[in-house]
Amino acid sequence: MPNDLMSIALPPSGLPLTPRIAVIGGGITGLAAAHRILELLPAAKLSLFEATKRLGGVLETVERDGFLIEHSADNFLAVPAVRDLCDRLELMDELLPTDAARRRAFVVRSGKLIPIPQGFYLMSPRRAWPILASPLLSVSGKLRLLAEPLVPPRPVAVTDESIASFARRRLGREVFKRLVQPLVAGIYTADPEKLSMAATMPQFLDYERTHGSLLRATLRSNRSNPDTADEAAVASGARYGLLVAPRLGMNQLVSALVSRLPADCIHVEAAVKGIRRCNDGWLLDVGTQGNEAFDAVVLALPAYAAGDLIMNLDPALGSELQGIEYAGCAIVSLAYRRDQIGHALNGFGFIVPQTEGRQIIAASFASLKFAGRAPADDVLIRVFVGGALQPDLLDRSDAELKQIASTELAELLQTSGEPLFADVARWPRSMPQYHVGHLDRVARIEQLASRHATLALAGNAYRGVGIPQCIASGNAAAEMIASALRD
């Protein structure tokens, strides 16, 4: 345990000897917050409330016929927040890298899978020749991309704009339609016409502001960071070299966190119905469990659920939270024998531009990214359906979603015959949409929430949707609570 976590030998005068702290929400954010609270305040009496039957939120690993199926995220970036947590959980040796031989992705064009040019990541082309040689873009589209350094920066007074606006302005309409839009949809299940650059891809705004051009910034970055540039130049579509996954699936991370919490602090099927002030602390209405008093509370919930819970307590804060929109998606996992698939599968998956008019967002060759996800000679493919651009597809039955996914794969991957099985996971209203102005809203939320010193908000609704950001948010909420209780 790091030295700074051992520094609390005796509680400060302002800290109760046994502070009662509630964490509402048992997803990865709430679990990270609970774990960090007990690191910082080992004497605390912690209670974690989860409304459903299981912990982990959207993270769920299912085993079937020798396949390891993820119902939502199947990997995360090995950035410091995650590596630090995995190190403390003794999971570092359990993290698998992606298969180095397949670190590229495809994009659909006219019904064919075309490799995303090597070195193209979101809006950052790190190599010119793969772009020029790619059949994805027309001659005019390539020339427009190469002219990006000639595009003047946006006015300093403009603090935010949509991803669509930024990409069209800097890279051209063709690059936006054929590359940027499907890449963004694959990450955020969002409408790039509404999605905020400042909230989702601030690094590219910084490139424009400091270098005047994305291409110019990339060239300078390549020269100053040759090792990073080499890895980025080979991969396409995502930073696959930084992606890792627990050997036994995402449930392994969830289980490791749960194992560090006292068993008697975990309450599943325990929906918190209300929260109100009680002296210097909080009184929670936990349904059939009655009312319970706490010195501090962490709300690790979707923004709309947190807003509902505290609307009577703080209508202004509740309204701001409910103003964050959400989208949903379904993930259809299909198992095939390798000899049923005509495509070489020499990558990690593909993305589908909206202009292709198809009913899927993307597909991931899950068993080719990480070892141990399928039996030998079999393949597991995850197909993503719905999102902000096709929300009506979530109204389809499981049978219809399976048919959509298998039909699309038959056309794009030349699959033959029926899959060995198909598994459907639905996540309605699960992905917060960081629309233009999102950071301003978050600033207002944080200002309003600061009036409640021992009430902390955490989750993917605020400053990042990925697992690392959820963990960092849970940690920050725990540290804020610990600091407030010491004051």
Tens digit of pLDDT for each residue in 368-400?
A: 999 999 999 999 999 999 999 999 999 999 999
Does residue 338 share a domain with residue 313? no
Q: Are 126 and 227 contained in the same domain? A: yes
Chunked mean pLDDT (size 10), the chain, 487 residues: 34 68 98 98 97 97 98 95 95 96 94 91 79 91 93 83 96 95 92 96 92 88 59 58 96 98 96 93 89 96 98 97 97 98 97 97 97 97 97 97 98 98 97 97 98 97 96 97 91
Q: Are residues 151 and 121 both part of a single domain?
A: yes
Tell me what pLDDT residue 6 has. Answer: 29
- Give the model's pLDDT for residue 176: 96
User: 């979707």: which residue's tokens?
Assistant: 302
Q: Is residue 380 part of a domain?
A: yes
Q: What is the pTM of this model?
A: 0.92
Per-residue model confidence (pLDDT) at position 154? 86
Shared domain for 348 and 283, answered yes or no, is no
Amino acid at 440: D
Nearest to 123 by CA among 161, 164, 85, 157: 164
Do 17 and 152 sit in the same domain of this protein?
A: no
Half-sphere exposure of 473 (CA within 13 A, CB side): 25
Residue 112 belongs to a domain: no
- Residues 6 or more apart whose CB falls under 8 angstroms from that of 416 comprise 340, 341, 342, 410
- Residue 304 counted as domain residue: yes
Task: Among 236, 267, 284, identify where a domain stops.
Answer: 236
Task: Specify if 109 maps to a domain.
Answer: no
Contact call for residues 258 and 266 (beta carbons, < 8 A): yes
R_g (Cα) of the chain, nearest Å:
23
Are residues 122 and 212 both part of a single domain? yes
- How many domains, in total, are found in the chain? 3
On whether residue 69 sits in a domain, the answer given is: no
**Based on the domain organization, do 22 and 128 belong to the same domain?**
no
Q: Tell me what pLDDT residue 343 has.
A: 98
Question: Among residues 206, 236, 266, which one ends one of the domains?
Answer: 236
Residues 204 and 337 occupy one common structural domain: no
Q: CA–CA separation, 464 vs 472, rounded Å? A: 9
Residue type, 242: L
Domain hosting residue 137, numbered range: 117-236
Q: Do 308 and 457 belong to one domain?
A: yes
Q: What is the pLDDT of residue 229?
A: 46
**pLDDT for res 127:** 75
Residue 67 in any domain: the answer is no
Same domain for 297 and 232: no
pLDDT at residue 9, as a whole number: 33
Query: Quick one: pLDDT at residue 224?
Result: 66
224 shares a domain with 124: yes
